[in-house]
Chain A
Amino acid sequence: MQRPRFDDEFSDLAGLAYRVAYRILGDRSSAEDIAQESLARAYQRWTRIVEYRQAWVARVAGNLAIDQIRRRRPAAAPPQPVDSEVLLVERLDLQRALLDLPKRQRDAVVLRYIADLSETDVAVLLGCSPGTIKSHLNRGTTRLRLVLHDSPGGL
């Protein structure tokens, strides 16, 4: 079977990376920047990631976005005010919750719920069994809900 070409996949993958970054950051220019960066990295190792490209790109974008909130955390600069107030609060809660999650749970949550990948895809990318992913997701969302629930505008 012909291996999917990067050019043909570009649009979809860029859209995915953008969506992941935007959901986390709520900031168009950052999301665009992260999408570009993710895609550049994807192209660099295309043959190696082609089989699980969506998951890979989503993970890179998610990590870049989380890195960004981590870096900007002390200053606590809110995203550009595209959001309504309710959304803004919700997004900030999500950011805080993501930062507080242990890495594996965070990876699973980002891939499953922010990138909307299937559990199977997440399991393949993270190299765990579907059962392990389920348990990461379970614990991850429980913690996420706790954090989001404790604050106004929660889930």
Chain B
Amino acid sequence: MFEQLDDTEGFEPSNAFFAETTRRWATRRRRRATARAAGGVLCLAIATPAFLSATQREDRSDGIGHVDATVAGGTTIETEPVDATASPGTAPAESFPVADRRSTNFLIVGADNNACADPGSPYAESFGKDASDGERTDTIMVVRLDAATDRVSVLSFPRDLWVRIPGNGSGRINAAYRHDDPQLLIDALWSEFGVPVDHFIHLDFCAFKKVVDAVGGVSVPISYPVRDTSTGLDIAQPGCTAFSGDEALAYVRSRHFEYMDETGSWHEDPSSDLGRIARQQDFMRRVLARASKSGILTPRGVSALYEAYRDDLVVDTGLTIAKLLEFAGALSTVNAADIRGYQIEATAKNIAGAAVLIWDKNSPSMNAILDIFRGVPAANTAPAPVSAGTAPASNSPSSAIVPDAATEC
């Protein structure tokens, strides 16, 4: 199409050209090695949490996210998309490697981009009318794998949460996230909540859909007809509803979740983000339960998933396939019902005309929740999760809005 724009003199790489290429490659390699070593040393300092200013080197021009960032507490995070072609000849191991017995916090960011909008899908509309809308974080959560208790805890951050963004004043938490660059968000989580991040996973809509499809779809008990005209969610028939990837996305993204009561009138979920977060956490639990059942949580299955995600997932470079398998191994022993979901306690405020959420710094229960993720030994009064597989908390939203966790599908 653009032949007329070619160099008329043509191009033939000379020896000098080749030499310069090799030199660049060599420099790049050394730089990487240094960064790794420095990261290792800094790891030792992790116990003395000190806010480290972000030193970032952004290098995303190779078309694939690739970021260095400094995690609060000291580890260096470099992100790169998962690349499973690294050693195509190697057969996946038959058993999970033994996990490191340290507790680990994962920052999981679900991003709203249009990457996987299949134009033929009935949900295509909900992917933003204009692809140039770019990317927003749809979901921010910290997932903690607690080595001591073998427990998985999830803390979801509503996107309107008002936080300090180091070096950038204050803003909504989702403003701290830049595509493929978790640094500001990691810093904000650390300085605002004292929650450290060990690993970073960026999951886009494609990856989410693939997970759901990979486990063979996920079923959710829906007690009333529900819909969300903005995401295309529309379930007329209550009952166990099997979601494919697309439908699941319409469900977990729903912010204007409506249900129809017995009299046939529609009600919108008044809790907005709370309901949404609880639905997401419930859904996660079902995905995991389903994954255990479908036998995908095996070294072979996880390796295959890893391969399928090459383009849709960005993780820090410390999160190698070996590490990932360790964590998957730990996860495979966890009962999905034991995953505890928490959310930030916050009140709605209006700041400069913007509706935001201010979290309650003085609330003992809020701090008890944060302590779980800070790695502070639990007080005797463990806070009630907003969502758990068993014993729903007293203030849990009605089953019209969040599926009853105990109901299997």
How far apart are A85's CB and chain B's nearest CB, in angstroms? Answer: 13
Residue in contact with A39 in the complex, picked from B21, B132, B134, CB distance below 8 Å: B21
User: CA A152 – CA B88 in complex, angstroms?
Assistant: 50
Q: A11-B13, A102-B114 are in contact. Are A18 and B7 (CB under 8 A)?
A: yes
Question: In chain B between 83 and 135, which residues have their CB closer than 8 angstroms to a CB of chain A?
Answer: 83, 85-88, 114-116, 118-120, 130-132, 134
Q: Is the CB of A127 within 8 A of B311?
A: yes
Q: Is the CB of B63 within 8 A of A90?
A: no
Is B262 located at the chain interface by the 8 A CB criterion? Answer: no
Q: Is the CB of A94 within 8 A of B5?
A: yes
Q: Is the CB of A62 within 8 A of B25?
A: no
Question: In chain A between 6 and 47, which residues have their CB closer than 8 angstroms to a CB of chain B?
Answer: 10-11, 14-15, 18-19, 22-23, 26, 28, 31-32, 35-41, 43-45, 47
Q: Is the CB of B25 within 8 A of A40?
A: yes
Residue in contact with B7 in the complex, picked from A28, A113, A114, A139, CB distance below 8 Å: A28
Q: Is the CB of B131 within 8 A of A105?
A: yes
Residues of A within 8 A of B87 (CB): 47
Which B residue's beta carbon lies closest to that of A127? Answer: B311
Is B136 located at the chain interface by the 8 A CB criterion? Answer: no
Residues of A within 8 A of B311 (CB): 126-127
Residues of B within 8 A of A11 (CB): 12-13
Q: Is the CB of B20 within 8 A of A36?
A: yes
User: CA A91 – CA B206 in complex, angstroms?
Assistant: 34
Which B residue's beta carbon lies closest to that of A139? Answer: B131
Q: Is the CB of B4 within 8 A of A44?
A: no
How far apart are A38's CB and chain B's nearest CB, in angstroms? Answer: 8
User: CA A51 – CA B84 in complex, angstroms?
Assistant: 12
Q: Is the CB of A36 within 8 A of B17?
A: yes
Residues of A within 8 A of B88 (CB): 47
Q: Is the CB of A127 within 8 A of B206?
A: yes
Q: Is the CB of B2 within 8 A of A114?
A: yes
Q: Is the CB of A32 within 8 A of B17?
A: yes
Q: Is the CB of A43 within 8 A of B120?
A: no
Q: A22-B5, A127-B310 are in contact. Are A44 and B28 (CB under 8 A)?
A: yes
Residues of B within 8 A of A47 (CB): 85-88
Q: Is the CB of B206 within 8 A of A23?
A: no
Q: Is the CB of A67 within 8 A of B61?
A: yes
User: CA A128 – CA B331 in complex, angstroms?
Assistant: 30
User: CA A139 – CA B25 in complex, angstroms?
Assistant: 37
Which A residue's beta carbon lies closest to that of B8? Answer: A82
What does the 1/0 interface line of A59-85 toward B look like (CB < 8 Å)? 110111001000000000000001000
Q: Is the CB of A45 within 8 A of B7?
A: no
Q: How many residues of chain A have a CB within 8 Å of chain B?
A: 54
Q: Is the CB of A40 within 8 A of B21?
A: yes
Q: Is the interface of B mostly helix, strand, loop or mixed?
A: loop
Question: In chain B between 2 and 30, which residues have their CB closer than 8 angstroms to a CB of chain A?
Answer: 2, 4-7, 11-13, 17-18, 20-22, 24-25, 28-29
Residue in contact with B63 in the complex, picked from A51, A60, A82, A87, CB distance below 8 Å: A60
User: CA A14 – CA B17 in complex, angstroms?
Assistant: 9
Residues of B within 8 A of A14 (CB): 11, 13, 17, 21
Q: A67-B61, A104-B115 are in contact. Are A23 and B5 (CB under 8 A)?
A: yes
Residues of A within 8 A of B5 (CB): 22-23, 26, 87, 90-91, 94
User: CA A14 – CA B114 in complex, angstroms?
Assistant: 32
Residues of B within 8 A of A60 (CB): 61-63
Question: In chain B between 43 and 96, which residues have their CB closer than 8 angstroms to a CB of chain A?
Answer: 61-63, 83, 85-88
User: CA A114 – CA B2 in complex, angstroms?
Assistant: 6
- Which residue of B12, B24, B61, B131 has the most chain A CB atoms within 10 A of its CB atom? B61
Question: In chain A between 45 and 59, which residues have their CB closer than 8 angstroms to a CB of chain B?
Answer: 45, 47-49, 51, 59
Q: Is the CB of B11 within 8 A of A40?
A: no
Q: Is the CB of B86 within 8 A of A48?
A: yes
Is B228 located at the chain interface by the 8 A CB criterion? Answer: no
Is A118 located at the chain interface by the 8 A CB criterion? Answer: no
Is B1 located at the chain interface by the 8 A CB criterion? Answer: yes
What does the 1/0 interface line of B304-318 toward A look like (CB < 8 Å)? 000000111000000
- List B residues at the A interface (Cβ < 8 Å): 1-2, 4-7, 11-13, 17-18, 20-22, 24-25, 28-29, 61-63, 83, 85-88, 114-116, 118-120, 130-132, 134, 206, 310-312
Some 6 contacts from A to B, beta carbons below 8 A apart, are A14-B11, A36-B17, A40-B24, A40-B25, A102-B134, A132-B119
5 additional A-B residue pairs with CB within 8 Å, beyond A35-B17, A64-B61, A64-B62: A15-B11, A19-B7, A38-B62, A40-B21, A44-B25
- List A residues at the B interface (Cβ < 8 Å): 10-11, 14-15, 18-19, 22-23, 26, 28, 31-32, 35-41, 43-45, 47-49, 51, 59-60, 62-64, 67, 82, 87, 90-91, 94, 100-105, 107, 113-114, 126-129, 131-132, 135, 139
In the complex, the 6 A-B pairs of residues with the closest C-beta atoms, listed nearest first: A127-B311, A102-B131, A40-B24, A113-B1, A102-B132, A40-B25
